Amino acid sequence: MKIYTKTGDSGETSLFGGTRVPKYHIRVEAYGTIDELNSYIGLLRDQKTDTKTTTTLLKIQNELFVIGSILATPPEKKQLKNGKDRLKIAPITAEHIRFLENEMDTMNAALPKMTHFILPGGHPTVSYCHIARNVCRRAERISVLLASKSHVNPDILRYLNRLSDYLFVLARKLTKDLQVTEIQWLNTY
């Protein structure tokens, strides 16, 4: 497979199904931000964490590839004439969302009660987690904008919302695991 095609030199790209759009198109922004998020999750997964966290992050990365593929497909190109799904991948469902919720519940059970906002940082691994959380929030905002213009499976929006929550709780867990002090925002200025 050749990496460069030269077909994007004029500022356009192809969506799944062949539709050409400008590279600034909201659909390209949506799946491009999912790709950026996936890269940050990979950076986070490369840090020294427990096996459960590493396994969960790899699962999330695979799910983000599914989301990116779905977002890269305009609704009018999703179905073939015979009604079969062109993507041939399992969609994101409520089960994926429940998995993230269960992971958060498990982590939260071992964490101290949160009484204030938390300032990001304290350790590079924790900071990478907060960066991923913020990119996830941006991916969610862009996907919501796309959903206001074109159909987007609502479970994708819910998944991104829960994923950013998961990354916040994971940052708190990693803070504890790494024995770093969690800095509360106290608004003392």
Residue spans per domain, the chain: 12-177
How confident is the model at residue 67, as a pLDDT?
A: 96
Report, in this order, helix, strand and coil percent for the chain, each rounded to 5: 60, 5, 35
Angle of helix 51-71 relative to helix 26-45, nearest 10 degrees? 170
What pLDDT sits at residue 7? 62
Which residues in the chain come in under a pLDDT of 70?
1, 4, 7-9, 13, 15, 18, 21-23, 77-88, 188-189
Q: Output the pLDDT for position 10.
A: 75
> Helices in 22-93 by DSSP H: which ranges?
26-45, 51-71, 75-78
Give the model's pLDDT for residue 9: 66
Q: Which H/E stretch holds residue 130?
A: helix 124-149
| Euclidean distance between CA atoms 10 and 180, whole angstroms | 49
pLDDT of residue 22: 58
pLDDT of residue 86: 56
Threshold 0.75, pTM exceeds: yes
Which CATH number is correct for 12-177, 1.20.1250.20, 1.20.1200.10, 3.90.1150.10, 1.20.120.160? 1.20.1200.10
Rg (CA), the chain: 19
